[in-house]
C-alpha cells in the first residue's frame, strides 16, 4: 500500500480506508498489467460523476439564490467540464500519484486530461464512500468550487464571459492586453478514426498552454480554458 500522506494533506481529507484512495488512483492499465490488483478506478469514477453533479447543483443553488435554471445549468456545466476537472486535478498534483501501466505511463498518461478527470471524480466517489456527504462536500468546495469561483470572479472583473466560450474569452483578453491573436498548433493526432486523440498547443504572447480531446476543436477549447484560468 502506497503512502499517500502528502496527497491527503493537499486535498484536506484523511482516509480511514486507504484502499479506497489507492483504488481511486489506479488506472485500468495498471490493473491489466498487475495480476495482484483486483480493482481500478472506473466504478469509483462512475459514482464520483454522480456525486459531483449533485454537489455542484446543491452548492450553486445555495450560493446563487437569484439565478434562474438556465444560468445555473451553464454554471454547472462549466464547473463540471472535463477541462476544469483536469485543471483542478493538476493543481492537486494527482498525476504524481496515479498508478499507471507501463505503456500508459511512457505515453504521458500522468498528465493526460482524461486520466486526471477520471481520477478526480474517482477520488470524490471514494471520499463519499469513506466519509459520507459532509466530507465529500467539504472536498468539493475546497478543491473544485472555490477554484471555479475565483476564476469566475476574475472573469467578471475583467468584463469577460464566464467560460462558455474559452477561445473567444482568450482572444478578447489578448486584444485587451495588446497581444497578437492566440495561435493554435496541433502537436499530436493519434488513434483510430473512431477514437482519435488530439494534443493542441495555444500560444499567447510568450506563454503556451496545451489541451487535449477527441477532436481538434475540443483540444483547442481545452487549451484555451487552461490559458484563461492561468492568465486572467
Q: Last residue of a domain, which of 157, 180, 207?
A: 157
185 shares a domain with 77: no
On whether the CB atoms of residues 207 and 180 are closer than 8 A, the answer is no
**Whole-prediction pTM value?**
0.70
What would the grid cell of residue 209 be?
498552454
Torsion sign across C-alpha atoms 12, 64, 171, 201? positive
Q: Are residues 170 and 121 in the same domain?
A: no
Catalytic residue among 22, 49, 117, 130: 49
The CATH number that applies at residue 23 is: 1.10.1520.10
Q: What is the pLDDT of residue 1?
A: 55
Tell me if residue 120 falls in helix, strand or coil. Answer: helix
The C-alpha cell of 213 is what?
480531446
Looking at the 3D structure of the chain, how many domains does it have?
Answer: 2
- The pLDDT tens digits for 171-220 are 878 888 889 999 999 999 988 877 788 999 999 989 999 988 888 888 89
Domain residues for 21?
A: 5-157
Shared domain for 130 and 212, answered yes or no, is: no
CB count within 10 Å of CB 162 equals 19
121 part of the active site:
yes
Per-residue cell: 192: 483510430
Work out the pLDDT band at 160, boundaries 50, 70, 90: very low
Is residue 221 over pLDDT 70?
yes
Give tens-digit pLDDT for 38-80: 999 999 999 999 999 999 999 999 988 888 898 888 788 878 8
Q: Which of 22, 121, 130, 218 is catalytic?
A: 121
DSSP reduced 3-state for 101? coil
Q: For 98-154, write each residue's pLDDT tens digit.
A: 999 998 998 888 888 889 999 999 999 999 999 999 999 999 999 999 877 766 665
The answer to whether residues 121 and 173 belong to one domain is no
In terms of domains, do 149 and 183 share one? Answer: no
Q: Determine whether 49 is an active site residue.
A: yes
Amino acid at each position: 500500500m502506497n503512502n499517500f500522506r502528502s496527497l491527503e494533506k493537499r486535498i484536506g481529507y484523511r482516509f480511514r480506508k486507504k484502499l479506497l484512495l489507492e483504488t481511486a488512483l489506479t488506472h485500468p492499465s495498471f490493473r491489466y498489467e498487475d495480476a495482484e490488483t483486483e480493482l481500478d478506478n472506473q466504478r469509483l469514477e462512475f459514482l464520483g460523476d454522480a456525486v459531483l453533479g449533485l454537489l455542484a447543483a446543491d452548492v450553486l443553488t445555495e450560493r446563487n439564490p437569484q439565478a434562474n435554471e438556465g444560468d445555473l445549468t451553464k454554471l454547472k456545466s462549466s464547473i463540471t467540464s472535463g477541462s476544469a476537472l483536469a485543471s483542478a486535478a493538476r493543481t492537486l498534483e494527482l498525476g504524481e500519484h496515479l498508478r499507471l501501466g507501463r505503456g500508459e505511463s511512457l505515453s504521458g498518461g500522468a498528465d493526460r486530461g482524461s486520466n486526471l478527470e477520471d481520477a478526480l471524480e474517482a477520488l470524490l466517489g471514494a471520499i463519499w464512500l469513506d466519509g459520507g456527504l459532509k466530507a465529500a462536500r467539504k472536498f468539493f468546495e475546497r478543491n473544485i468550487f472555490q477554484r471555479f469561483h475565483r476564476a469566475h470572479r476574475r472573469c467578471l472583473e475583467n468584463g469577460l464571459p464566464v467560460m462558455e466560450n474559452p477561445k473567444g474569452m482568450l482572444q478578447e483578453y489578448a486584444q485587451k492586453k495588446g497581444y497578437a491573436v492566440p495561435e493554435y498548433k496541433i502537436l499530436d493526432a493519434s488513434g483510430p478514426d473512431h477514437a482519435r486523440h488530439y494534443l493542441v498547443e495555444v500560444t499567447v504572447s510568450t506563454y503556451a498552454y496545451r489541451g487535449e480531446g477527441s477532436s481538434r476543436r475540443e483540444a483547442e477549447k481545452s487549451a484555451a480554458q487552461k490559458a484563461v484560468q492561468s492568465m486572467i
